Structures are given as C-alpha cells and as structure tokens.
Amino acid sequence: MTQGPLTTEAGAPVADNQNSETAGAGGPVLVQDQLLMEKLAHFNRERIPERVVHARGAGAYGTFTLTRDVSQWTRAAFLSEVGKQTETFLRFSTVAGNLGAADAVRDPRGFALKFYTEDGNYDLVGNNTPVFFIRDAIKFPDFIHTQKRDPYTGSQEADNVWDFWGLSPESTHQVTWLFGDRGIPASYRHMDGFGSHTYQWQNAAGEVFWVKYHFKTDQGIKTLTTEEAVRLSGVDPDSHQRDLRESIERGDFPSWTVQVQIMPAADAATYRFNPFDLTKVWPHADYPPVEIGKLELNRNPENIFAEVEQSIFSPAHFVPGIGPSPDKMLQGRLFAYGDAHRYRVGINADHLPVNRPHATEARTNSRDGYLYDGRHKGAKNYEPNSFGGPAETSRPLSGAITVTGVTGNHPTPLHAEDDDFVQAGNLYRLMSEDEKARLVDNLSGFIAKVSRDDIAERAIANFRRADEDFGKRLEAAVQALRA
C-alpha cells in the first residue's frame, strides 16, 4: 500500500530523488537544489555523541509483574498489589567498547531498567555483577580511562588496566568475577542482572529499609570461553543484539525472576560489611533473597536509534517509596547520568517517546531549549501560581538519611569484616577446580601482557591476599607465559 509521495522535511513533494540539479547536462551542481542540501546536511548530523561508557547496547520493552505483597517494606505504587503489571524498557550493554564493538567480549554488562509507573519513571541502573571495581565515584573517570584507548597508542593497554587495578585493591572482588566463567555471557538472555547498589525503600508508616535487587535469568546461565568468544566476535559481532531481537520475534520471550535482599535500617550501622560499599555483597545467609516478581521482555524497538541509542537512564529517577543510599558510587551517579544525557541527547531528551512517562504525565515548569516541542502551550512556567498550575506535594519521595561529623574527603567507613580481599577470596573458594583453572588462565593471559614486572607483581599480590592458593597458581601461570 502506497504511503503517498516522497517529500522534503518541509512536506513538499519530491520530483526527482535520483539526480541532483546541475547547470546543464554535464555542469556543476547548483546550490538551489535544496533537496540535495537538505539530505546531505541531515546525513552529516545523523549521529549524536556516543555514550562514553556503555556505548554498545541493545534493548527491548516488556512487563514487570508483582508476585508478592511488599507493602510492609515500600509504599511504591507499582509495587502495591500482587498481579499488578508495569511496562518496562531494558537496555543491555557492554562497558568499555565503542558503539561498533563486538558483543561477545570479556566485560561487565549493563542492565538498565526503566519502569513506566503511574508515579513517573523509575530507573534502576545496574550491571550483570553484584559488585563493581571501585567504591567512590571520584575514581570513576580514572578507571574508565584505563579501560579505553590509550592516548598515545590508540589501543587498550594491559599496562594501564593492571597498573590501576593493582593500585586499587578494592577492584580485586570484581576482577575475580570478570575473569571467571560469567565474564562472557553467551547472550543477554542467559545472564543475571543486579541493581548492584544499595537502595532505600520506605513504607507508608515511614519505616526505612535498605535493599539490593537481583534478576535471576529463567533461561539459565550460559557463558562463553575466551576461545569461543574470539571466534564468535569475528563471525558475528552483533551476536547478543541479534539473539535478543530474534528470540522476541519468534515469541520466545526472555524473563527474569526478581528478588530483593532487605535489611532493616537499624542493622546497617553494625553489619559486618559496610552495606553501602559497592565492592561488597551481602551474603545470602545474612539476608536471604525474597522473590517479588517476574520481568519479561516481549516487544522489540521499532527503531534502534530512536529507542535504544536515544534512551536515557538515571538512578536519580525515583518514585515515592524508593530513594538513594549513602553509597558513594551511587551518589556520584545521581549527578553523572543526568548530566550525560543532557549533553549527549539534549536538554529535552525526556520528551522522547522512549524516555517520557507512559503511565502518567510529566508536569514541570521547564521550558524551551533545543528541540522543545511547545507541549505546555501558554501555561504559566512558575510555582507557586494561582492559575491552576502543578503544585508541590510536601511529601518527600523517600526517607531522610542521618548524617554526623564534619565535612571532608573521608574514605568509605570500614565495618568489622571489611577489607578489599575477603569476598574475592570467598568467591574463589566457591569455585570448582575447573572454574579455578579457567579463572587463572584468563587472568594470567592478560597480566602476562604488561611490560613491567612491578605492575604484574602488584596485580598478583592482590589475588594472593584474597587467597594464597589463588595467588600461587596465578604467579606460576604468569611466570610461565612471560618466560
């Protein structure tokens, strides 16, 4: 069925889209050919700045269904009734690669989930690992610089990566995760997701709880070895994006069982690990996960650029009953994510269909700016006003956080069992012998590439402090490769 004539951006019908206007049959092109000028000018501007991190990604729409009453812990409306469904959009990504990088690489995977709730959008921005490399956002730009291309060589350099990790021992736990079997998921469908950070829930009575989110894949965990990933990256760089799209197209909708760990606020001060340290987990024996829902992806985007590349997420997008914690990495991200999308997509990025609320309406006094669509018409743009404009509720979204002491550049407080190695050692000791062998093989192959012995020795020393056997086996493997 015809859609009518091809037109210019202004709506005028196009007579000839095959030949540009020239001065005579063989003469130069004329500036008056506005179709040519319009097409070339638009083409030059088709891309926006790619994400500095998480540039390579794929996404899909779905639904979250609440399967357990959680009103004793949170007053969030979308978590208020068993069976209630909320539309979602989930973007998966790799961290270090550029927009055109391969999917099947050893890298954490972003797990950014947007809930389109009746109280506005709630963004839960996490990864496929429960921990991270650092615990303070002030180190994040330095960390990412080590993962990206070196300013002189133009390539990722083992020296940079291991120099930073060796000098940042808090990374030992996450690095052990990353170089284990789960470091290269077979697909986005076959991996778990985590909120990673600690968040606050507050119930209707004002009681506060600290929570961690877990998304357990219903497809089962499947991973790739280093050798399998290298082959797949060469044959099909788009493997994970393609797998996600095709599974939804054939009606094989991927799903995750959603769980939360819940800590009463009063427990935090005396818990054996700092509960707000992103390099630590809460052992399940201490706070068993509680199943609360099911997440299913069931609709593909119709346009990757409009809906995946221009999608924005911010951990500062909370709804009533959910809020932040004192996690220093989370606190930094509350600013950084919003700042990134205002620069990258534009000040009115929240107006785009994938980003705007779907179950309610955004009512703000923000006006104008790049690509403002005039949606507010003639409404007053200040508050308070006596012309029927939106007004404040006087009820905070979440509970207050108690603070004490003086301002200063304080390190993250240590709790009774806190150090940078204990949980990495625990993770290593949970592994089978085969898993340990692959972990050592993956790590040694990368460490052996560094050019300085002191960088390699410092890196190995961190793993030795996590577990003596771990360090001993890694040292022998690196020495054999460097010989």
φ/ψ of 135, rounded to 5, equals -115, -5
At 483 the pLDDT is 85
Q: Are 194 and 111 in contact (CB under 8 A)?
A: yes
* pTM of the full structure: 0.95
With CA atoms as reference, report the closest residue to 132 among 324, 321, 332, 286.
332
| Whole-number average pLDDT of the chain | 96
* Residue-by-residue DSSP string for 360-407: S--------STT---TTTT---SSS-SSS-----S--SS------S--
Residue tagged active-site, from 127, 128, 300, 355? 127
Residue tagged active-site, from 19, 42, 54, 203? 54
With CA atoms as reference, report the closest residue to 62 among 115, 109, 111.
115
Q: What is the pLDDT of residues 73-121, one digit of tens each?
A: 999 999 999 999 999 999 999 999 999 999 999 999 999 999 999 999 9
Triad 422, 427, 430: Cα angle to 5° = 125
Non-local CB neighbours of 153 within 8 Å, separated by 6+ positions? none
At 14 the pLDDT is 93
Q: Are 287 and 262 in contact (CB under 8 A)?
A: yes
Average pLDDT on 364-378 reads 89
User: CA-to-CA distance for 194 and 109, rounded, in angstroms?
Assistant: 10
- Mapping DSSP to helix (H, G, I), strand (E, B) and coil, where does residue 451 land? coil
Q: What is the pLDDT of residues 308-355, one digit of tens each?
A: 999 999 999 999 999 999 999 999 999 999 999 999 999 999 999 999
351 is an active site residue:
no
At 370 the pLDDT is 86
Label residue 225 by pLDDT band (50, 70, 90): very high
Non-local CB neighbours of 360 within 8 Å, separated by 6+ positions? 117, 118, 119, 120
Residue 468 host element (H or E) = helix 468-482
Label residue 1 by pLDDT band (50, 70, 90): low
54 is an active site residue:
yes
Q: Are 348 and 373 in contact (CB under 8 A)?
A: yes
